[in-house]
Amino acid sequence: MIATNFGPFASRITGTGSAFPDQRLTNLELTKKIDTTDEWIRERTGIQERRIAQAGSEADRNSSLGARAALAALEMAAKTASDIDLILYATCTPDTLIPSTACWLQKKIGATKAWALDVNAACSGFVFGLATADSFLRSGQFKTALVVGGDILTSMTNWEDRGSCILFGDGAGAAIVERTEATNPRRILSVHMGADGRHWELFHVQAGGSNMEVTAEVRAKKLDKMEMKGREMFKVAVRTLGDYAVQALESNGLALGDLDWLVPHQANLRIIEAVAKRLELPMEKVLINIDRYGNTSSATIPTALDEGVRKGLVKPGETVLLDAFGAGVTYGSILMRW
Ligand SMILES: CC(C)(COP(=O)(O)OP(=O)(O)OC[C@H]1O[C@@H](n2cnc3c(N)ncnc32)[C@H](O)[C@@H]1OP(=O)(O)O)[C@@H](O)C(=O)NCCC(=O)NCCS
């Protein structure tokens, strides 16, 4: 599906923020739990360490990390919580199933005017949330949206599965998205999103939803934890990230290599390198944080973007491509002029 500007309005990100739990888990520490090595993890994934939320810690709750990220984004945008019309919280690890994590966050930051809901597209969640916010803002209905991508993937990690547990970490990233004139060059230029539920088996959690209650037996079999077909997921990721990036460039009349910044989902550095190669982009033009945080699901893209913005790498007027894929499978890209 393609959405481009067709009315008087567009939208743009005016503030970003990030938050991570304090506790680090290094590769070396993982070698004490499972049969792996620091060298294998670095070479095969690019990950050196990740952050782990402490179970039961109020500060490390998904919505608490999201609230910290949101407040930082509000400050950058020079807005207050009372300016927010809409909160979209992208997550597949909500604080609670009821109420939504968006409502917990709304309470924490005092955004009393906003309506609030969760978006679940797994690791593509932030990009799906941003695409949804863009649509509402372009319609003219609202002025200011808060989009958060936050996940505590370690709450669903099978620490006995060395093929997956090395990958995941916890965190949250946020963006303030504001309505602007469609003539503003600094805006979201296009949105390309997709999903293919036929590939659900590549990455899923069997229990915990209405399909299967989490009983002691289910827990013993780890059916409430993530199951992933790593090699197959790798191939889908390289293909869809590449295809959706190329579509975004082509539909905007841009050539390969024209990007100033690629902000890809951070699942594996080798996936990112393969996509950059296809786009003919040097790795210096790719915002990376997987080395320090691992795969934080819906938080990877907003936190990597936030880091690039705060370091002064991403400058006004530059062309930035957000490129996501995740369980579902889900995928999509958003091209913007910063
Ligand atoms: C998971 C992943 C890192 C595995 O890397 P890989 O290079 O594909 O490795 P393979 O699964 O082919 O396994 C190669 C060997 O390493 C072993 N291995 C797997 N995990 C290991 C670990 N942590 N430490 C040491 N060896 C490991 C395997 O057992 C296998 O050994 P074998 O050849 O004797 O059977 C990689 O497939 C990946 O990142 N996939 C995509 C993940 C993803 O995108 N997830 C979803 C994001 S939304």
Distance 329 CA to ligand 1 centre (A): 19
pLDDT value for 152: 98
Amino acid at the residue 163? G
Q: Comparing 2-181 with 188-337, is the CATH topology the same?
A: yes
Which band of pLDDT confidence, cut at 50, 70 and 90, is reported for residue 257?
confident
80-84 long-range CB contacts below 8 Å, 24 or more apart?
81/109, 81/110, 81/111, 81/112, 82/110, 82/111, 82/112, 82/113, 83/113, 83/143, 83/144, 84/111, 84/113, 84/114, 84/144, 84/145, 84/146, 84/176
pLDDT in tens, 190-208: 999 999 999 999 999 999 9
pLDDT above 70 as % of the chain: 98
State the alpha helices, DSSP H only, in the chain: 27-30, 38-45, 62-77, 101-109, 125-138, 216-220, 230-251, 269-278, 290-293, 300-310
Mean pLDDT along residues 57-80 = 98
Fold of domain 2-181: Peroxisomal Thiolase; Chain A, domain 1 (3.40.47)
Mean pLDDT score of the chain, rounded to an integer? 96
The yes-or-no answer on residue 123 being catalytic is: yes
On the question of pLDDT at 113 being above 60, the answer is yes
Structure tokens at 90: 């992208």
pLDDT value for 5: 55
Prediction pTM value? 0.97
On the question of pLDDT at 4 being above 90, the answer is no
pLDDT in tens, 121-140: 999 999 999 999 999 999 99
Residue 234 CA: which ligand 1 atom is closest? 41
Angle of the 62-77 helix axis to the 101-109 helix axis, nearest 10:
50
φ, ψ dihedrals at 31, nearest 5°:
-65, -20
On the question of pLDDT at 2 being above 70, the answer is no
Residue 163 CA: which ligand 1 atom is closest? 20
Q: Which residue ranges make up each domain of the chain?
A: 2-181, 188-337
Mean pLDDT along residues 271-297 = 97
Mean pLDDT along residues 10-23 = 98
The yes-or-no answer on residue 252 being catalytic is: no
pLDDT in tens, 148-177: 999 999 999 999 999 999 999 999 999 999
pLDDT value for 7: 85
Distance 264 CA to ligand 1 centre (A): 20
Mean pLDDT along residues 93-101 = 97
Distance 154 CA to ligand 1 centre (A): 18
pLDDT in tens, 175-184: 999 999 999 9
On the question of pLDDT at 1 being above 80, the answer is no
Rounded CA-CA distance 289/293 in Å is 6
The yes-or-no answer on residue 295 being catalytic is: yes
pLDDT value for 6: 67
User: Is the domain 188-337 a CATH 1.20.120.1200 member?
Assistant: no
Rounded CA-CA distance 127/211 in Å is 27
Residue 270 CA: which ligand 1 atom is closest? 39
Which band of pLDDT confidence, cut at 50, 70 and 90, is reported for residue 256?
confident
Q: Is 35 helix (H, G, I), strand (E, B) or coil?
A: coil
Report the pocket of ligand 1 as residue ranges, CB < 6 Å.
Answer: 36, 40, 44-45, 123, 162-163, 166, 203, 228, 230-231, 233-234, 237, 267-268, 295, 326-327
On the question of pLDDT at 3 being above 60, the answer is no
Pocket test for ligand 1, best of 36, 234, 297 (most atoms within 8 A of CB): 234
